[in-house]
Amino acid sequence: MMKDIANATTPIELWFDFASPYSYLSIMRIEPLAQARGARILWRPFLLGPIFRALGWSSSPFVQQSEKGAYMWRDVDRQCRKYGLPWKRPSEFPRRGLLPTRMALLCAYEPWIGEFCRRIMRFNFVEDRPIESAQSVAEALAGLAPDACRLLAAAEAEATKLQLRNQTEAARRQGIFGAPTFCVGSELELFWGDDRLEDALAHAAAGGPPSRGTELGLSS
């Protein structure tokens, strides 16, 4: 199969939800790991809520099942210590984050998207503060985007709302049922969970067929 000369490594799609603790781990870890592999990251924010409802759950499995929930908090705490990441269990879970999700979608191809996502995640999982307000999102944009007001208006526009619904629908069609999920290559190989980040990057580096980034007419 022909490979894109300019970008020999297949990109890795990172599907994430700002409320998801394991998405926090991946968002904090992915950039240096991808860089070391020469892999481009395609940031794919989406909403887990509608996915869970489509699967017949009224909320996160971590909320619906107390044993699994209790274990998850313990496990994420341990993983953070293992990876040297700061961590504070949020007092609200799952935390509402519609506005930052729309903003991440709007700015998914900006060079600073990784830093924006890390800031939102730090608000949620380190500082334990709301992420839904325009003020929080503006704060996360500080120093990254020159015109936060314009971006905030665009994030609230009907077109962006529709785009996020489409994005979440696309996640469902790809068989995504949790976050983070990594999706690699035109064969849409799925890797579920922060534990599979390294495997997904190895798969991208091994170079499947070129990813759909270009096919979808997306530029980075």
Question: Rounded CA gap, 136 and 72, in Å?
Answer: 26
Contact pattern for a second copy over residues 118 through 157, marking x by CB under 8 A = ----------------------------------------
Q: Which of 199, 206, 214, 218 binds a second copy (CB under 8 A)?
A: 199
Stretch that binds a second copy, among 8-16, 100-108, 130-138, 172-180 (CB under 8 A): 172-180
Find the binder of a second copy among 65, 135, 166, 214 (CB under 8 A): 65
Q: Are 130 and 95 in contact (CB under 8 A)?
A: yes
Minimum separation from the CB atom of position 103 to a second copy (A): 28
φ/ψ region of 64 (left if φ > 0, alpha if ψ in -120 to 50, else beta) reads alpha
List binders of a second copy among 80-119 (CB under 8 A). 82
Residue 192 near a second copy by CB under 8 A: yes
Three-state DSSP class for residue 181: strand
User: Which residues 6+ apart lie within 8 Å of 52 measured at CB?
Assistant: 58, 59, 60, 61
| Beta pairing class for 12-16 and 189-192 | unpaired
What is the DSSP pairing of strand 181-184 with strand 41-45?
unpaired
Helix, coil or strand: residue 93: coil
165: contact with a second copy by CB under 8 A: no
C-beta of residue 145 within 8 angstroms of C-beta of residue 115: no
Q: Could you tell me the smallest distance in angstroms from the CB atom of residue 19 to a second copy? A: 19
187 binds a second copy (CB under 8 A): no
Site residues for a second copy per CB under 8 A:
55, 65, 67-68, 70-71, 74-75, 78, 82, 175-178, 190-193, 195-196, 199
